[in-house]
Amino acid sequence: MGDELYRSDGEVGEVLRRFESCELPPAEFDHGRHLTVALALVAALGDERRAAARMREGLARFIAANGVSPRKYHETLTVFWVRRVGAFAARAGAGRPLAEVANELIAECGDPRLVFEYYSRALVDSEDARARWVEPDLKPLDF
């Protein structure tokens, strides 16, 4: 595939479909695909709040269907990344091919450690952050 993960909007849609139908194996649901699903949801729903709710529901279903521990779910990380993706999508501009935006998003936000610019490891690892949204403790969100 070269430097581009996605060649078409259909490929992006297929990642979302496979995630929501729980056909995507957990081993393939890496950070880039998490970002892709979040982007597809933000684009389809046009609203970060609705996209986060659908992502939350999808993750719960995906976790249950794949026998993954429910403790794997992390509310703060889910909301952080949906908000980050929403801000990226808004900057990317409307009307562009979703595959192009997804490839740019992964290039910019593909390192999952980006969250640690905003959150300490101790806060991310806390039960509070796992269970509910908590504000960052290192620097405020700038997106």
Q: Where are the domains of the chain?
A: 9-111
Q: What is the pLDDT of residue 93?
A: 86
Give the pTM. 0.95
Radius of gyration of the chain from its Cα atoms, rounded to whole angstroms:
15
CB–CB of 33/12 below 8 Å?
no
List, for residues 32-65, the tens digit of each pLDDT value. Answer: 999 999 999 999 999 999 999 999 999 999 999 9
CB–CB of 48/82 below 8 Å?
yes
Say if residue 2's pLDDT is above 50. Answer: no
List, for residues 77-123, the tens digit of each pLDDT value. Answer: 999 999 999 999 999 988 999 999 999 999 999 999 999 999 999 99
